[in-house]
Structure 1
Amino acid sequence: MTTTPLIINALGQLDNPNAPRSAEAAAELNPSSEQLTVDARTLADARASGLTAVNVTLGYTMGDMPPYEHTLHEIAVWDRIVRDNEADLLKVRTVADVHRAHREGRTGVIYGFQNAVAVGEDTGRVATFAELGVRVVQLTYNQANHIGDGSMAPDNRGLTDFGRRLVDALNDHHLMVDLSHSGENTCLDAARSSRVPVSVNHTGCRALADLPRNKTDEELRLVASRGGFVGIYFMPFLNTSGHACAADVVEHIDHAVNVCGEDHVGIGTDGTVTTIDDLDAYRDRLAEHVELRRAAGVGAAGERGDTLPFVLDLRGVEQFRELIRLLECRGYRSARIEKIMGRNFLDYAERVWAPETSG
């Protein structure tokens, strides 16, 4: 492609993992947004990569902090990060905001959850989160919660009664229902019960790598058939060896396109743009972190001390351009690549976010 298309990362991070504070946080089980390092390098790398917008994780995911209060605090932290870097960042509430970020050379920041526990038993909190600018709500992390089962929950229940009420509330307030990390039956139930399209913002295809964090063809097909979106991640779960490479990303994208159709597939890398400089030091810390996750019951099958949580040959500021090159080599035409790199997510957002706020 002669020009870089709109690039939207359906789940990613804005952080400099090499900064001391971020490196220390990466070794912890429950790093907070306050420990991120959104510095000059972070912002320059995002701009150099061509990244238009990214869904960042904030709020409660796991741990012993009070979920609702912690989530409100994290939203305030990100509001401050965006405000302090307004020349480079733009908080995304609408589809129009994404276009504005692209036009002005800024990076759009989409606020999202990776666990909906912060709602508690009160669906009225959805209105609060929507007003504060949250636009994506993932129902579960790997473990079960009072909404449904995560991908590692052994019972594989579907949505609970409260989970159905929560999906209704998310529909009412035009928030994305993200089924990443969910168990299979929770995913199928939510996709069927939601009145508007749902998404799986960061996943792989279980037909290619039979691991719980990946989605079955039945899940992928159902989500797409109802107008939803599937983002393929740059994660070790793309290969059962735990050592995924760029070729695996392409294979999973291609499989998802074949199952879902080219209008419903994109990317959700689950990683940073800024690369880790000292991989040896990082590997030394990784095994301990993986063991902490396992002991806390939040790890996923396929996580090991030697499985890097990113694709080694698809990192840094060239990651999106390299993926475009690989898709071109696969025979993908420019129009299809533009859809995968961002257009499909934006079209999905048009279908979900309130028409009066989508521009």
Structure 2
Amino acid sequence: MQQKNYSGYTSYSYLEAGKDYKVFPLSVELNRVPSRRPEVTAEEEARVRRLFQEQLMISLHDHCFVAPEDLSQFMEFRRWGRDFTGYQGLSVSGLDAVFDNLMNGTAMITSRGGWKWDDIVYDLGMRLSDIAHQEMVVHCKTTSDIVNAKKNGQIAFIVSIEGAAMIENELDRLDILYGLGVRCLGIAYSEGNALGGGLKEPRDGGLTTFGRQAVRRMNQLGIAIDVSHSGDQTSLDTIEVSDKPIFITHAGARALWNSNRLKPDDVIRACAAKGGVIGIEAAPHTTLTEKHPKHSLESFMEHFEYCVNLVGIDHVAFGPDVLFGDHVGLHNALTEALSIGASRGHLEYEKVAYVDGIESPAEAFPNIVRWLVKHGYSDADIGKVVGGNVMRVLKAAWYR
């Protein structure tokens, strides 16, 4: 893949470990598990490498932090407020830009429930402080930042937050988040809030009056809108009310797997009809299918092809939602905080220790592109789904 300008920097190395912050041994970033890449010929691999040189590679949703080895200490780890970015892993990911979603619901620095204003601001400031001390990953605020990052061998870091509970009923907090560099915001993260319904609520009343005001303000500011974790009616209302195309940054097709975490055809179609894009999700045990009930790159790509057939190649991208470390173990440790129960379907499936072929940000896009090349997709179509479609929406949704 295109090698980035990585100096060997590790997170918070400008501080003294053990004195300025508590040390938690972290997971390895590369080759943690024997995840397999698609088998391609030497000629196909050469084409993959060329595509990484020529096309913008944008992940619509990830968490590029390194998890601690001992996940029983994860909440204590989080309360220190420091996410350790996987710079080494990112340096070989081939990505030119990534929508990174910080701690989000696990930012529990001041509270046990998460999603508090102070926690989100603390999380955001800490992460950007670390990023400011190195040069490979750059804080992205405009589409030009993405283009320049690729040119300069860097990765554009797009700050995203998965739910808007922390703004409470304060509309101007959206302006503050924008001023702090947030460029993508979800309406609700599973639990309902002042804007609308989340996917785990027993009834989804749709976008509230305040939610409609918030959508309008995000359009005015230039914050891209995400409905990945919103309820179906709230998603449809958001798509209707927004003047700009929106994202479903990380989901899949409920038609293939009956889970509230995935989107029904009418929501996917409505999103595409307004010019929006759905990013296909790969977090463990989400994008399963009856054909591939054991979660892997194959089941993930079955959701991709279903969505392409449903709404066309111009409206699909990839939001793998992966991290560096034991993602399955993390889900087990954070079942309540992350509403894991709401993301499981009612079908029987085989649990996996990791999602084979798409286990971390280091391998996700290289293996996605290998799969696309192996299955005969054209350069133009690959360019659309790995970055072009996302850029088109950003040029419409962002202020600049």
TM-score interval, normalised by the smaller of the two chains? 0.7 to 0.9
TM-score for both structures, normalised by structure 1: 0.86
User: How far apart, in 2, do the equivalents of 1:320 and 1:66 lie?
Assistant: 30
Of the three residues 245, 255, 280, the one matched with 1:207 is: 255
Question: In structure 2, what is the equivalent of residue 50 of structure 1?
Answer: 94
Q: Which moved more, 1:253-262 or 1:312-321?
A: 312-321
- Retained in 1: the 8 A contact 2:294–2:349? no
Higher Rg: 2
Q: What residue number does 1:157 align with?
A: 205
1:115: how far off? 1.1
Provide the rounded CA distance (Å) in 1 between the counterparts of 2:332 and 2:349.
Answer: 7
Give the corresponding residue for 1:139.
187
- Post-superposition offset of 1:163: 0.9
CA RMSD of aligned residues (A): 2.7
Could you tell me how far 1:58 is from its partner in structure 2?
3.2
Aligned-pair CA distance for 1:308: 5.3
User: How far apart, in 2, do the equivalents of 1:249 and 1:218 lie?
Assistant: 20
Residue of structure 1 in register with 2:342 after alignment: 300
In structure 2, the partner of 1:73 is: 122
The residue number in structure 1 matching 2:83 is 36
Q: Tell me what 1:169 maps to.
A: 217
Q: How many residue pairs were aligned? A: 339
Q: Equivalent residues in 2 for 1:137-286 (5 A)?
A: 137-235=185-283, 236-239=285-288, 243-272=294-323, 274=324, 276=325, 285=329
Alpha-carbon spacing, 1:194–1:175, altered in 2? closer, same or farther (3 Å) = same
Cα drift, residue 318 of structure 1: 3.1
- Counterparts of 1:43-122 in structure 2, within 5 Å, are 43-58=87-102, 60-61=104-105, 63-64=112-113, 67-85=116-134, 87-122=135-170
Q: What secondary structure is seen at the aligned counterpart in 2 of 1:61?
A: helix
1:332 maps to what in 2? 377
Uncovered stretches (5+) of structure 2, i.e. residues with no partner = 1-46, 107-111
* Alpha-carbon separation, structure 2, partners of 1:311 and 1:286: 14
Aligned to 1:342: 387
Structure 1 range deviating more: 337-346 or 2-11: 2-11
- Partner residue of 1:7 out of 35, 57, 73: 57
Q: Secondary structure at the match of 2:212?
A: helix
Give CA deviations for 1:160-211 in whole Å, capped at 9, x if unaligned: 1111111111111111110011110000011011111111000011111111
For the structure 1 residues 340 and 197, does the alpha-carbon distance in structure 2 shift closer, same or farther, using more than 3 Å as the test?
A: same
The code of the aligned residue for 2:321 comes to D
1:318 matched to 2:318: no
For the residues of structure 2 that align with 1:163 and 1:30, how far apart are their CA atoms?
33
Deviation, 1:286, is: 5.1
- Cα contact 1:149–1:182 (8 A) shared by 2: yes
Q: Which has the higher helix share?
A: 1
Structure 1 partner of 2:17 = none
| Alpha-carbon shift at residue 330 of structure 1 (Å) | 2.4
Alignment-mate amino acid for residue 323 of structure 1: I
CA distance in 2, matches of 1:197, 1:263: 13
Q: TM-score, normalised by structure 2?
A: 0.78
Read off the aligned partner of 2:357 and give its amino acid letter.
Answer: D
- Segment drifting more, 24-33 vs 231-240: 24-33
1:311 is displaced (CA, Å) by: 2.0
Verify the 8 A CA contact 1:220 1:260 in the aligned structure 2: yes
2 CA distance for matches of 1:323 and 1:48? 14
- Work out the CA distance in 2 between the residues paired with 1:288 and 1:319: 22
Instruction: After superposition, give the CA deviation of every residue in 1:3-62 in whole Å (9 maximum; x if it has no partner).
Output: 313211111022223x55xx5488449946834222xxx212212120111111136536
The 2-side partners of 1:33 and 1:3 are apart by 40
On the 8 A contact 1:271/1:310 being kept in 2, the answer is: no
**Cα distance 1:194–1:94, how it changes in 2: closer, same or farther (>3 A)?**
same
Moved over 6 A (4+): 303-306
- Once the 2 structures are TM-superposed, how far is the Cα of residue 307 of structure 1 from its aligned partner? 4.3
SS, match of residue 236 in structure 2: helix
Q: CA deviation at 1:332?
A: 1.2
Q: Please list the CA deviations of residues 53-111 of structure 1 after superposition, one character each: whole Å capped at 9, or x if unmatched.
A: 111113653643571222221221122021012x2110000000011111111111111
Identity level (%): 24
Contact 1:197 1:227 in 2 (8 A): yes
SS of residue paired to 2:342: coil
In 2, Cα distance between the equivalents of 1:65 and 1:321?
34
For the residues of structure 2 that align with 1:70 and 1:286, how far apart are their CA atoms? 20
Structure-2 separation of matches of 1:71 and 1:349 = 23
